[in-house]
């Protein structure tokens, strides 16, 4: 063979353009499926793009969707730094939303500031607790966190069904499953006339804190060390189990915050389907951003747009799951791209 | 029929897709490749079966199509994990995310439509007079019988043949296998693809038994339970049978208790399989903390011929 592919294990850093190429290739692949299904990919994609970024309403809706993606993505990124594969953000978000709603159900007459503060604390604590339920089996029993965190997603969604159909069901809700609508004191402030709420500030503050913590603190340094070489980190006396528990508490807490912001800022009540799979989309958001804080902001807005665009193609008779399909394809090309760039074409046998 | 017999039949009905998916997972992981895409593969197998079955009204063609589609996906997974040496965790996750999105997209037009039939059952009339056995085995569907055959075949293949020796060598020590002259990559490609086909068949089985119709996300985490079952079964097909039926019982228990008028809300009954999965994995982790778990030793480690360890 005159030419062969050679694997170069020294190339650990992937080029900056792989995420862009991955997105482009995923668009091409899905275009083929759309075309095979008898639709014009150009029409579908332009419809999606216009729906997400073409109008001021579209843009604020995209940002509304970007908030939970950014918060969950950030949590996932913290865990992935040390190879803890949390895929439980969906469940952690759900229990966060439930805990925040519990405050409105059991303390209905608190003044605005205290109500919101208590909802925040409850939401974050519940998400963190759900994260802990994944961390403890991993650190103390050696159970793969992927299975645990995913099983807990189903448990959380069933618990959500239970409360919205059962004890928390709105007596004035025409028999629809869902909690009573929140009062103004229980709702996050919104930007005048839009659905964009103050959760955006929470998310951006969290991004800055994440950057500063990773970059400038001893804790961040230890995380980077574990991520680079766990064996060396263990010999250096870093308590890896403790770090796993801490990152899962943070990861779950941020997802719980996202859940609180969703019920208090967007839906104003607890109901089924409060998350159209934010927790799963956030996995791709984090991976596409290469766990980089600024990248997370960009990718969460992009994927927020993908979700909004997915909804907007429903008007031309396509299912919104087209955006999920695109997300999966993007992840495929992304992990392939990370590796392809490590190969080099060499001459000779 | 008494309660125990009914429970056993329910265990087999609910356990067969879990068993097929677990056997597929075992083949993948015995060859050293982690398969976390089971949920997505099952969904793709299920949706393909439904679409082709509704269009052609031919069950055989539908099953072939579903196995064919998952074989292609298995090849994609092999290419990512074996040739490109990608992160196997991420590759599996991508398979699950793509599978759930793509199956929802494909299945939208037939969602809720009833299928033209269910799996044919083998009526074994000569077994009918035998008490419990006759009730259970006299009227099972063909995929369940196939799963029994597969358990025996895979058990013999893995533990009694030279092919199985090669498979185990490739999963435990690919470098040694390579030196022995075993074609590591070819074997891995083969078992990952066949494993994916079995997982696809598990999805087909799910839609063709109890409620023969497509609904978005109808596997509801069964694929992930199968990922856990591979570990409970310690990568052993015979144990896989027992574990899958144990979970089959748990799966149908909630439904049965509801029918019997249990006071526990159905949501909590439905949580049982998920919670038990976590608890059993914790128990196994605790019991095996100082013992070898039976994990193929090179599971998840890409093999690079030139690299020394």
Residue A13 has pLDDT above 70, yes or no: no
Q: Which of B84, B282, B285 comes nearest A340 by C-beta?
A: B84
Is A325's CB within 8 Å of B85's CB? Answer: no
φ/ψ of A107, rounded to 5, equals -125, 70
Cβ neighbour number for residue B116 with a 10 Å cutoff: 14
Residue pair A254/A74 in contact by the 8 Å Cβ criterion: yes
B-chain CB neighbours of A77 within 8 Å are none
Tell me which chain A residues have a C-beta less than 8 angstroms from the C-beta of B307: 9
CA distance A200 to A181: 22
pLDDT in tens, B69-121: 999 999 999 999 998 888 888 899 889 989 998 899 889 888 888 888 888 88
| pTM for the full predicted model | 0.90
pLDDT of residue A61: 92
CB-based contact (8 Å) between A154 and chain B?
Answer: yes
What is the token pair recorded at A256?
């719980």
At residue B256, does pLDDT exceed 80?
no
> Which chain A residue has its CA at the smallest distance from B105's CA?
A321
Count A/B contacts: CB-CB distance under 8 Å: 142
Is the pLDDT score of B299 beyond 80? yes
Please judge whether B105 and A322 are an interchain contact, meaning their C-beta atoms are less than 8 angstroms apart.
Answer: yes
A166 vs B contacts (CB less than 8 Å): 265, 267
Residue B252 has pLDDT above 90, yes or no: no
> Is there a contact between A141 and B224 if contact means CB atoms under 8 Å apart?
no
CA B280/CA A129 separation, integer angstroms: 20
Residue A129 has pLDDT above 70, yes or no: yes
Burial code (b: 16+ CB inside 10 Å, e: under 16) for B242-277 equals ebbbbbbbbbbbbeeeeeeeeeeebbebbbbbbebb
Tell me what percent of the residues of chain A surpass a pLDDT of 90. Answer: 49
- Residue B32 confidence (pLDDT) above 50: yes
Mean pLDDT of A272-282: 89
Of chain A, the percentage scoring pLDDT greater than 70 comes to 94
Range B163-175 average pLDDT: 90
Q: In this model, does residue A285 exceed pLDDT 80?
A: yes
- Min Cα distance A119 → chain B (Å) is 25
Q: Mean pLDDT throughout A341-346? A: 72
Q: Please give the Cα distance from B195 to B24 (Å, whole number).
A: 4
Residues in A touching B286 (Cβ below 8 Å): 141
B80 CB-near residues (< 8 Å, 6+ apart): A332, A335, A336, A339, B86, B91, B94
- Confidence bin at B309 (pLDDT 50/70/90): very low
pLDDT at B225 over 50: yes
* pLDDT at residue B308 tops 60: no
pLDDT of A119: 95
The Cα A208–Cα B147 span in angstroms is 54
* pLDDT for the residue numbered A315: 81
Chain A environment of B98 (Cβ under 8 Å): 325, 328-329, 331-332
A148 at B interface, C-beta within 8 A: yes
pLDDT at position B172 is 87
CA distance A279 to chain B (A): 11
- What is the rounded CA–CA span in Å between residue B239 and residue B19? 10
Residues A132-166: pLDDT tens digits? 999 999 999 989 888 899 899 999 999 999 999 98
SS3 state at B306: coil
Nearest CA in chain A to B287: A141
Does the structure show a pLDDT above 90 at A231?
no
Contact between chains at A151 and B278 (C-beta distance less than 8 A):
yes
pLDDT given at position B264: 82
Mean pLDDT of the B302-306 span: 76
Q: Which of A33, A166, A327 lies nearest to residue B265, judging by beta carbons?
A: A166
Q: What is the pLDDT of residue A100?
A: 96
Residue written as tokens 């037009």?
A: B109
Which positions in chain A touch B216 (Cβ < 8 Å)? 321
What is the mean predicted confidence (pLDDT) over A288-295?
89
Record: contact B101-A338, CB cut-off 8 A:
no
Query: Which residues of A fall within a CB distance of 8 Å from B84?
Result: 336, 339-340, 343
Is pLDDT larger for residue A131 or for residue B131? A131
Q: Residue B83 and residue B75: Cα distance in Å, rounded?
A: 11
Instruction: Say what the pLDDT of residue B1 is.
Output: 67
Mean pLDDT of A41-62: 91
Please tell me the least confidently modeled range out of A64-73, A214-223, B111-120: B111-120
- Cα A76 from Cα A93, distance rounded (Å): 12
* Summary mean pLDDT of chain A: 89
Comparing A273-277, B22-26, B42-46, B145-149, the range with the smallest average pLDDT is A273-277
- Minimum Cα–Cα distance from B276: chain A residue: A151
- Could you say which of A319, A335, A343 has the minimum Cβ distance to residue B90? A335
Does position B152 have pLDDT exceeding 90, yes or no?
yes
Residue A166's pLDDT is what? 87
- Start-end of H helices in chain B: 3-30, 38-56, 59-78, 88-107, 131-137, 142-160, 162-172, 174-179, 184-208, 222-232, 237-259, 266-287
Contacts of residue A118, Cβ cutoff 8 Å, sequence gap at least 6: A103, A107, A110
Residue A4 has pLDDT above 80, yes or no: no
Q: Which residues does chain B have within 8 Å of residue A153's beta carbon, measured at their own beta carbons?
A: 221
Calpha distance A285→A334 (Å, rounded): 11
Sign of the torsion angle spanned by Cα atoms B245, B248, B254, B260: negative
Structure tokens belonging to residue B157: 């293949």
Chain A hits for B91, CB-CB cut-off 8 Å, are 335
| A34 in Cβ contact with A47 (< 8 Å) | no
- Residues in chain A closer than 8 A to B231 (CB atoms): 144
Quick one: CATH architecture of B3-288? Orthogonal Bundle (1.10)
Mutation test of the interface with chain B: which of A98, A283, A319, A329, choosing the one with the most B Cβ atoms within 10 A?
Answer: A319
Q: Where are the alpha helices (DSSP H) in chain A?
A: 18-36, 41-49, 56-81, 89-106, 112-141, 145-165, 199-216, 218-228, 230-235, 240-261, 278-288, 293-312, 322-340
Extents of the domains making up chain B: 3-288
What's the whole-number mean pLDDT along residues A262-276? 91
What is the DSSP track for A211-234? HHHHHHSHHHHHHHHHHH-HHHHH
As to burial, measured by CB atoms within 10 angstroms (0-12 exposed, 13-18 middle, 19+ buried), residue A184 is exposed
Task: Pick the residue from chain A with its C-alpha nearest to B88.
Answer: A335
| pLDDT band (50, 70, 90) for residue A348 | low
Mean pLDDT for chain B? 89
Interface test with A, best of B97, B108, B109, B272 (most A CBs within 10 A): B97
Residues 6 or more apart whose CB falls under 8 angstroms from that of A70 comprise: A203, A204, A206, A207, A285, A296, A297, A300
């Amino acid at each position: 063979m005159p030419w062969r592919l050679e694997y170069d294990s020294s190339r650990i850093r992937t080029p900056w353009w792989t995420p862009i190429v991955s997105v482009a290739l995923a668009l091409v692949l899905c275009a083929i499926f759309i075309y095979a299904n008898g639709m014009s990919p150009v029409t579908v994609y332009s419809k999606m793009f216009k729906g997400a970024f073409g109008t001021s309403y579209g843009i604020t809706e995209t940002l509304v969707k970007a908030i939970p993606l950014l918060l969950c993505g950030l949590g996932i990124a913290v865990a992935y730094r040390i190879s803890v594969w949390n895929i439980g953000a969906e469940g952690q978000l759900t229990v966060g939303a439930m805990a925040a709603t519990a405050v409105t159900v059991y303390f209905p007459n608190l003044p605005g500031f205290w109500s919101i503060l208590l909802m925040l604390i409850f939401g974050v604590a519940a998400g963190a607790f759900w994260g802990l339920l994944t961390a403890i089996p991993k650190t103390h029993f050696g159970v793969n966190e992927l299975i645990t965190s995913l099983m807990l997603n189903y448990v959380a969604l069933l618990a959500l069904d239970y409360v919205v159909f059962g004890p928390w069901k709105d007596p004035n809700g025409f028999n629809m499953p869902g909690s009573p609508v929140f009062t103004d004191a229980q709702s996050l402030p919104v930007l005048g006339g839009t659905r964009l709420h103050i959760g955006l500030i929470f998310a951006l503050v969290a991004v800055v804190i994440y950057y500063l913590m990773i970059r400038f603190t001893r804790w961040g340094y230890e995380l980077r060390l574990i991520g680079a070489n766990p064996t060396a980190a263990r010999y250096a006396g870093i308590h890896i189990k403790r770090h796993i528990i801490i990152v899962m508490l943070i990861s779950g807490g941020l997802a719980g915050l996202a859940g609180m912001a969703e019920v208090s800022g967007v839906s104003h009540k607890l109901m089924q389907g409060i998350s159209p799979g934010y927790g799963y989309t956030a996995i791709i958001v984090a991976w596409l951003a290469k766990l980089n804080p600024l990248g997370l902001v960009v990718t969460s807005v992009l994927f927020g747009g993908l979700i909004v665009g997915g909804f907007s193609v429903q008007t031309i008779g396509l299912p919104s799951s087209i955006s999920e399909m695109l997300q999966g394809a993007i992840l495929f090309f992304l992990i392939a791209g990370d590796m392809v760039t490590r190969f080099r074409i060499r001459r000779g046998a | 029929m008494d309660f125990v017999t009914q429970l056993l039949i329910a265990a087999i009905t609910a356990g067969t897709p879990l068993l097929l998916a677990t056997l597929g997972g075992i083949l993948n992981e015995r060859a050293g490749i982690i398969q976390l895409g089971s949920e997505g593969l099952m969904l793709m197998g299920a949706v393909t079966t439904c679409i082709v079955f509704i269009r052609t009204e031919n069950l055989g063609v539908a099953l072939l199509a579903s196995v064919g589609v998952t074989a292609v996906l298995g090849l994609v997974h092999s290419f990512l994990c074996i040739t490109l040496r990608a992160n196997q965790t991420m590759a599996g996750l991508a398979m699950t995310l793509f599978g759930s999105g793509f199956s929802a997209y494909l299945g939208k037009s037939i969602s809720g439509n009833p299928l033209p039939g269910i799996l044919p059952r083998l009526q074994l009339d000569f077994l009918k007079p035998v008490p419990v056995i006759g009730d259970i085995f006299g009227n099972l569907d063909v995929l369940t019988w196939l799963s029994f055959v597969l358990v025996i075949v895979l058990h013999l293949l893995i533990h009694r043949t030279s092919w199985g020796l090669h498979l185990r060598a490739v999963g435990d020590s690919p470098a040694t296998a390579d030196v022995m002259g075993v074609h590591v990559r070819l074997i891995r490609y083969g078992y990952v693809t066949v494993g994916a086909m079995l997982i696809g068949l598990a999805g087909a089985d799910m839609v063709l038994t109890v409620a023969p119709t497509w609904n978005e996300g109808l596997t509801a985490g069964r694929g992930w339970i199968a990922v856990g079952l591979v570990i409970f079964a310690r990568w052993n097909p015979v144990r896989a049978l027992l574990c899958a039926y144990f979970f089959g019982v748990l799966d149908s228990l909630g439904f049965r208790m509801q029918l019997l008028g249990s006071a526990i809300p159905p949501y909590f009954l439905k949580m049982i399989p998920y919670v038990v999965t976590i608890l059993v994995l914790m128990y196994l982790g605790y019991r095996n903390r100082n013992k070898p778990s039976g994990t193929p030793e090179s599971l998840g480690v890409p093999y690079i011929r030139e690299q020394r360890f």
